[in-house]
Amino acid sequence: TVRLIKKFLGDGVIDHMIVAFSGVTKKQTEENRIESRLNPSMKEFLKSIKNRWIISPNPDIFNKNDKVVKKNMASTREMIIKFNNAYNLQNFKEAR
């Protein structure tokens, strides 16, 4: 999977990726724990993107003002802020 992503979008895309998991249980979302559900390939993929991942809270369970939602959005924001620069059209053109 990583090879295909890099082939299409370029090697640098890995530095701009955050994985969002959905469809997890309420408990897993609240505890921010899904490691037991991940296979070795997914664990390796997450390692390749410096473990930038979040759990996307199910809107049928959590409302937008819930502390879990706010915590996950803050975590995502922090990951984005740490990006050196944005992946843009120029990056894509260079990859193609």
Rounded CA separation 52/88 (Å): 19
Predicted confidence pLDDT, tens digits, the chain (96 residues): 788 888 888 888 888 899 999 988 899 999 888 888 899 999 999 998 999 999 999 999 999 999 999 999 999 999 999 988 888 888 888 877
Task: Kindly tell me the burial class for residue 21, based on how many C-beta atoms sit within 10 Å of its own C-beta (0-12, 13-18, 19 or more).
Answer: middle
Torsion of CA 74, 56, 64, 66, to 10 degrees: -70
Q: Where are the domains of the chain?
A: 2-95
pTM: 0.80
Torsion of CA 8, 9, 12, 15, to 10 degrees: -110
